[in-house]
Protein backbone atom coordinates (compact mmCIF):
# COMPACT_ATOMS: atom_id res chain seq x y z
CA UNK A 1 0.00 0.00 0.00
CA UNK A 2 1.21 3.50 -0.90
CA UNK A 3 2.64 5.61 1.92
CA UNK A 4 1.05 9.04 2.38
CA UNK A 5 1.83 12.31 4.12
CA UNK A 6 -0.62 13.00 6.97
CA UNK A 7 -1.64 16.19 8.77
CA UNK A 8 -3.48 15.64 12.09
CA UNK A 9 -5.25 18.42 13.98
CA UNK A 10 -5.74 17.90 17.70
CA UNK A 11 -2.61 15.85 17.27
CA UNK A 12 -1.91 15.21 20.97
CA UNK A 13 -5.37 13.83 21.79
CA UNK A 14 -6.06 10.19 22.63
CA UNK A 15 -7.46 9.39 19.18
CA UNK A 16 -4.56 11.06 17.38
CA UNK A 17 -1.90 9.30 19.41
CA UNK A 18 -3.44 5.91 18.70
CA UNK A 19 -4.01 6.82 15.04
CA UNK A 20 -0.36 7.83 14.60
CA UNK A 21 0.75 4.59 16.26
CA UNK A 22 -1.45 2.65 13.82
CA UNK A 23 0.06 4.47 10.84
CA UNK A 24 3.59 3.64 11.98
CA UNK A 25 2.88 -0.01 12.83
CA UNK A 26 1.31 -0.58 9.45
CA UNK A 27 3.93 1.46 7.56
CA UNK A 28 1.31 3.75 6.03
CA UNK A 29 3.00 7.12 6.53
CA UNK A 30 5.86 8.86 4.79
CA UNK A 31 5.43 11.98 6.92
CA UNK A 32 3.16 12.88 9.88
CA UNK A 33 2.50 16.48 10.86
CA UNK A 34 1.14 17.02 14.37
CA UNK A 35 -0.82 20.26 14.77
CA UNK A 36 -2.05 21.20 18.26
CA UNK A 37 -2.20 24.02 20.82
CA UNK A 38 -0.44 22.53 23.84
CA UNK A 39 3.37 22.63 23.83
CA UNK A 40 3.58 20.48 26.99
CA UNK A 41 1.47 17.68 25.46
CA UNK A 42 3.62 17.84 22.34
CA UNK A 43 6.75 17.43 24.46
CA UNK A 44 5.18 14.36 26.12
CA UNK A 45 4.22 12.97 22.72
CA UNK A 46 7.82 13.20 21.53
CA UNK A 47 8.89 10.96 24.42
CA UNK A 48 6.64 8.06 23.43
CA UNK A 49 8.82 5.20 22.31
CA UNK A 50 7.26 4.51 18.90
CA UNK A 51 7.53 8.22 18.05
CA UNK A 52 11.12 8.52 19.26
CA UNK A 53 12.09 5.61 17.02
CA UNK A 54 10.46 7.28 14.00
CA UNK A 55 11.08 10.92 14.83
CA UNK A 56 12.53 11.65 11.38
CA UNK A 57 9.09 11.37 9.75
CA UNK A 58 7.40 13.72 12.26
CA UNK A 59 6.86 17.47 12.18
CA UNK A 60 5.38 19.30 15.18
CA UNK A 61 3.53 22.61 14.87
CA UNK A 62 2.07 24.64 17.72
CA UNK A 63 -1.11 26.24 16.45
CA UNK A 64 -4.87 26.58 16.73
CA UNK A 65 -7.40 25.75 14.01
CA UNK A 66 -8.96 29.14 14.77
CA UNK A 67 -5.83 30.75 13.31
CA UNK A 68 -6.18 30.41 9.55
CA UNK A 69 -2.80 31.99 8.81
CA UNK A 70 -1.03 29.47 11.07
CA UNK A 71 -2.94 26.60 9.47
CA UNK A 72 -1.88 27.81 6.04
CA UNK A 73 1.75 27.92 7.15
CA UNK A 74 1.71 24.46 8.73
CA UNK A 75 -0.35 22.63 6.10
CA UNK A 76 2.14 22.20 3.27
CA UNK A 77 1.36 21.34 -0.35
CA UNK A 78 2.86 17.84 -0.08
CA UNK A 79 0.21 16.64 2.41
CA UNK A 80 -2.04 13.88 1.03
CA UNK A 81 -4.48 13.32 3.90
CA UNK A 82 -5.81 15.62 6.64
CA UNK A 83 -7.49 14.14 9.73
CA UNK A 84 -9.41 16.79 11.67
CA UNK A 85 -9.89 15.68 15.29
CA UNK A 86 -9.38 19.05 17.04
CA UNK A 87 -12.49 20.16 18.95
CA UNK A 88 -13.83 21.36 22.27
CA UNK A 89 -15.71 18.26 23.42
CA UNK A 90 -16.74 18.35 27.09
CA UNK A 91 -20.50 19.04 27.14
CA UNK A 92 -20.63 21.06 30.42
CA UNK A 93 -17.61 23.15 29.33
CA UNK A 94 -19.03 23.85 25.90
CA UNK A 95 -22.41 24.84 27.36
CA UNK A 96 -20.68 27.37 29.63
CA UNK A 97 -18.33 28.65 26.88
CA UNK A 98 -20.49 28.78 23.75
CA UNK A 99 -18.57 31.48 21.86
CA UNK A 100 -15.27 29.63 22.31
CA UNK A 101 -16.86 26.36 21.20
CA UNK A 102 -18.18 27.97 18.01
CA UNK A 103 -14.75 29.46 17.26
CA UNK A 104 -13.00 26.10 17.55
CA UNK A 105 -15.57 23.59 16.28
CA UNK A 106 -17.20 25.63 13.51
CA UNK A 107 -14.85 28.44 12.49
CA UNK A 108 -11.85 26.13 12.96
CA UNK A 109 -13.43 23.55 10.66
CA UNK A 110 -14.19 26.20 8.05
CA UNK A 111 -10.60 27.45 8.22
CA UNK A 112 -9.29 23.94 7.65
CA UNK A 113 -11.61 23.39 4.69
CA UNK A 114 -10.54 26.65 3.05
CA UNK A 115 -6.83 26.00 3.55
CA UNK A 116 -7.18 22.39 2.34
CA UNK A 117 -8.89 23.61 -0.82
CA UNK A 118 -6.23 26.22 -1.38
CA UNK A 119 -3.52 23.55 -1.00
CA UNK A 120 -5.52 21.08 -3.12
CA UNK A 121 -5.30 18.36 -0.43
CA UNK A 122 -6.57 15.03 -1.77
CA UNK A 123 -8.51 13.69 1.27
CA UNK A 124 -9.82 15.57 4.32
CA UNK A 125 -11.70 13.70 7.08
CA UNK A 126 -13.66 15.11 10.02
CA UNK A 127 -13.89 13.03 13.20
CA UNK A 128 -17.45 13.56 14.44
CA UNK A 129 -19.70 12.30 17.21
CA UNK A 130 -23.11 10.76 17.90
CA UNK A 131 -24.02 14.07 19.57
CA UNK A 132 -24.22 15.64 16.08
CA UNK A 133 -27.35 13.54 15.43
CA UNK A 134 -30.54 15.39 16.49
CA UNK A 135 -28.41 17.56 18.80
CA UNK A 136 -29.74 18.79 22.14
CA UNK A 137 -26.55 20.50 23.35
CA UNK A 138 -24.16 23.10 21.96
CA UNK A 139 -21.33 20.63 21.37
CA UNK A 140 -23.59 18.45 19.22
CA UNK A 141 -24.89 21.49 17.35
CA UNK A 142 -21.38 22.66 16.50
CA UNK A 143 -20.34 19.20 15.33
CA UNK A 144 -23.48 18.95 13.18
CA UNK A 145 -22.51 22.28 11.61
CA UNK A 146 -18.95 21.04 11.06
CA UNK A 147 -20.37 17.92 9.34
CA UNK A 148 -22.52 20.10 7.07
CA UNK A 149 -19.51 22.27 6.20
CA UNK A 150 -17.42 19.21 5.28
CA UNK A 151 -20.11 17.61 3.12
CA UNK A 152 -20.93 20.93 1.40
CA UNK A 153 -17.24 21.49 0.64
CA UNK A 154 -17.52 18.78 -2.03
CA UNK A 155 -20.04 20.96 -3.88
CA UNK A 156 -18.26 24.31 -3.85
CA UNK A 157 -14.71 22.98 -4.38
CA UNK A 158 -15.00 23.50 -8.15
CA UNK A 159 -12.13 21.96 -10.08
CA UNK A 160 -10.09 21.21 -6.97
CA UNK A 161 -9.18 17.55 -6.43
CA UNK A 162 -9.95 17.71 -2.68
CA UNK A 163 -12.51 15.30 -1.21
CA UNK A 164 -14.17 15.79 2.18
CA UNK A 165 -15.85 13.09 4.29
CA UNK A 166 -16.95 12.49 7.88
CA UNK A 167 -16.47 9.60 10.31
CA UNK A 168 -19.08 9.62 13.10
CA UNK A 169 -19.04 7.38 16.17
CA UNK A 170 -19.96 7.41 19.87
CA UNK A 171 -17.92 7.97 23.01
CA UNK A 172 -14.69 6.00 23.02
CA UNK A 173 -14.45 3.52 25.88
CA UNK A 174 -12.61 5.11 28.77
CA UNK A 175 -12.34 8.57 27.21
CA UNK A 176 -12.06 11.59 29.50
CA UNK A 177 -15.41 12.59 30.98
CA UNK A 178 -17.14 9.34 29.99
CA UNK A 179 -18.96 7.11 32.44
CA UNK A 180 -16.49 4.20 32.78
CA UNK A 181 -13.64 6.22 34.38
CA UNK A 182 -16.23 7.87 36.67
CA UNK A 183 -17.55 4.49 37.86
CA UNK A 184 -14.05 3.11 38.33
CA UNK A 185 -13.15 6.07 40.54
CA UNK A 186 -16.39 5.56 42.48
CA UNK A 187 -15.43 2.00 43.38
CA UNK A 188 -14.08 3.44 46.64
CA UNK A 189 -17.35 5.25 47.39
CA UNK A 190 -20.58 3.92 48.91
CA UNK A 191 -22.52 4.04 45.65
CA UNK A 192 -22.38 4.63 41.92
CA UNK A 193 -24.08 7.79 40.65
CA UNK A 194 -26.36 7.13 37.68
CA UNK A 195 -28.26 9.91 35.94
CA UNK A 196 -31.03 7.65 34.54
CA UNK A 197 -31.55 3.94 35.14
CA UNK A 198 -32.81 3.32 31.57
CA UNK A 199 -29.74 4.84 29.92
CA UNK A 200 -27.91 2.95 27.17
CA UNK A 201 -24.69 3.70 25.32
CA UNK A 202 -22.81 2.46 22.28
CA UNK A 203 -19.38 0.98 22.92
CA UNK A 204 -16.29 1.53 20.78
CA UNK A 205 -12.68 0.96 21.74
CA UNK A 206 -9.95 3.35 20.70
CA UNK A 207 -8.26 0.62 18.65
CA UNK A 208 -11.44 -0.06 16.69
CA UNK A 209 -12.10 3.65 16.14
CA UNK A 210 -8.64 4.10 14.64
CA UNK A 211 -8.95 1.07 12.36
CA UNK A 212 -12.37 2.21 11.21
CA UNK A 213 -11.15 5.73 10.41
CA UNK A 214 -8.19 4.33 8.46
CA UNK A 215 -10.51 2.05 6.47
CA UNK A 216 -12.82 4.98 5.69
CA UNK A 217 -9.92 7.16 4.51
CA UNK A 218 -8.93 4.43 2.07
CA UNK A 219 -12.47 3.99 0.64
CA UNK A 220 -13.80 7.59 0.75
CA UNK A 221 -14.72 9.38 -2.47
CA UNK A 222 -16.04 12.58 -0.90
CA UNK A 223 -19.40 13.44 0.66
CA UNK A 224 -19.89 10.32 2.78
CA UNK A 225 -20.62 10.11 6.50
CA UNK A 226 -19.27 6.78 7.73
CA UNK A 227 -20.84 5.19 10.84
CA UNK A 228 -19.64 1.92 12.41
CA UNK A 229 -22.06 -0.70 13.70
CA UNK A 230 -21.33 -1.04 17.41
CA UNK A 231 -22.56 -3.04 20.39
CA UNK A 232 -24.59 -1.30 23.11
CA UNK A 233 -24.64 -1.67 26.87
CA UNK A 234 -27.11 -0.74 29.59
CA UNK A 235 -25.74 1.68 32.15
CA UNK A 236 -26.90 -0.55 35.03
CA UNK A 237 -25.10 -3.54 33.48
CA UNK A 238 -21.95 -1.42 33.29
CA UNK A 239 -22.23 -0.64 37.01
CA UNK A 240 -22.71 -4.34 37.80
CA UNK A 241 -19.69 -5.26 35.68
CA UNK A 242 -17.51 -2.95 37.75
CA UNK A 243 -18.98 -3.86 41.16
CA UNK A 244 -22.19 -5.88 41.42
CA UNK A 245 -22.47 -5.30 45.18
CA UNK A 246 -22.41 -1.50 45.11
CA UNK A 247 -25.60 0.51 45.49
CA UNK A 248 -26.90 2.83 42.79
CA UNK A 249 -27.88 6.46 43.42
CA UNK A 250 -30.05 8.06 40.72
CA UNK A 251 -29.05 11.73 40.45
CA UNK A 252 -31.08 12.92 37.45
CA UNK A 253 -30.16 13.54 33.85
CA UNK A 254 -27.63 16.32 33.18
CA UNK A 255 -28.09 19.29 30.88
CA UNK A 256 -27.50 18.25 27.29
CA UNK A 257 -27.47 14.51 28.06
CA UNK A 258 -29.49 11.94 26.11
CA UNK A 259 -30.90 8.72 27.56
CA UNK A 260 -29.91 6.83 24.40
CA UNK A 261 -27.17 7.59 21.87
CA UNK A 262 -28.11 7.95 18.21
CA UNK A 263 -25.73 7.47 15.29
CA UNK A 264 -28.09 7.54 12.30
CA UNK A 265 -31.34 9.53 12.50
CA UNK A 266 -34.62 8.47 10.90
CA UNK A 267 -34.29 11.42 8.50
CA UNK A 268 -30.89 10.15 7.33
CA UNK A 269 -32.04 6.62 6.54
CA UNK A 270 -33.42 7.61 3.14
CA UNK A 271 -29.84 8.39 2.06
CA UNK A 272 -28.09 5.58 3.95
CA UNK A 273 -26.57 2.36 2.63
CA UNK A 274 -26.28 -0.38 5.24
CA UNK A 275 -23.31 -2.73 5.11
CA UNK A 276 -22.27 -5.68 7.25
CA UNK A 277 -20.28 -3.66 9.79
CA UNK A 278 -21.21 -0.05 9.01
CA UNK A 279 -23.56 2.52 7.54
CA UNK A 280 -22.64 5.03 4.84
CA UNK A 281 -24.76 8.18 4.63
CA UNK A 282 -24.62 9.89 1.25
CA UNK A 283 -25.45 13.53 0.46
CA UNK A 284 -29.12 14.35 -0.12
CA UNK A 285 -29.70 15.59 -3.66
CA UNK A 286 -32.51 17.81 -4.94
CA UNK A 287 -35.61 15.90 -6.15
CA UNK A 288 -34.30 12.70 -4.57
CA UNK A 289 -37.05 10.14 -3.94
CA UNK A 290 -38.03 9.97 -0.28
CA UNK A 291 -37.56 6.39 0.92
CA UNK A 292 -37.49 7.42 4.56
CA UNK A 293 -38.12 4.68 7.09
CA UNK A 294 -39.36 5.31 10.64
CA UNK A 295 -36.15 3.95 12.09
CA UNK A 296 -33.02 5.34 13.65
CA UNK A 297 -29.83 3.56 14.58
CA UNK A 298 -29.54 4.16 18.32
CA UNK A 299 -28.16 2.42 21.37
CA UNK A 300 -31.64 1.40 22.58
CA UNK A 301 -33.00 -0.40 19.49
CA UNK A 302 -29.62 -1.93 18.68
CA UNK A 303 -29.92 -5.74 18.34
CA UNK A 304 -26.37 -6.21 19.65
CA UNK A 305 -26.04 -5.73 23.44
CA UNK A 306 -23.03 -6.56 25.59
CA UNK A 307 -23.66 -8.71 28.66
CA UNK A 308 -22.03 -8.06 32.03
CA UNK A 309 -19.12 -10.48 31.55
CA UNK A 310 -18.36 -9.02 28.11
CA UNK A 311 -18.33 -5.49 29.54
CA UNK A 312 -16.00 -6.57 32.33
CA UNK A 313 -13.59 -8.16 29.86
CA UNK A 314 -13.58 -5.05 27.64
CA UNK A 315 -12.83 -2.79 30.60
CA UNK A 316 -9.91 -4.92 31.76
CA UNK A 317 -8.55 -5.01 28.19
CA UNK A 318 -9.00 -1.35 27.25
CA UNK A 319 -8.71 0.66 30.46
CA UNK A 320 -5.03 0.42 31.39
CA UNK A 321 -4.91 3.27 33.92
CA UNK A 322 -6.94 1.44 36.52
CA UNK A 323 -6.50 -1.70 38.58
CA UNK A 324 -7.96 -4.88 37.12
CA UNK A 325 -11.50 -5.47 38.30
- Name the residues annotated as catalytic: 131
150 near 127, Cβ under 8 Å? no
Which DSSP string do the residues of 282-319 spell out, in sequence order? Answer: PPPPTT------S--EETTT-S-B--HHHHHHHHHHH-
**Which helix (DSSP H) or strand (DSSP E) does residue 53 occupy?**
none
Kindly compute the dihedral angle of the four CA atoms of residues 41, 42, 44, 49, in this order, to the nearest 10 degrees: 140
Rounded Cα–Cα distance for residues 120 and 31 (Å): 17
144 near 182, Cβ under 8 Å? no
Alpha-helix residue ranges (DSSP H) falling in 68-132? 68-74, 91-96, 98-102, 108-119
Amino acid sequence: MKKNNYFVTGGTGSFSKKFVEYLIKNKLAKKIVIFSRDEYKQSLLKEIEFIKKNISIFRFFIGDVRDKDRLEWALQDDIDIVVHSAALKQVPTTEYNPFETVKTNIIGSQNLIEVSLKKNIKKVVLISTDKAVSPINLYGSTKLTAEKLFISANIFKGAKKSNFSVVRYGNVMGSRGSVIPIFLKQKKDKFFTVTNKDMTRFNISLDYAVKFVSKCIFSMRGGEIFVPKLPSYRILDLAKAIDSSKKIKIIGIRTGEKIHEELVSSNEFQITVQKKDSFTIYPLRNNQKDNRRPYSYNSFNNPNYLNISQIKKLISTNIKDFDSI
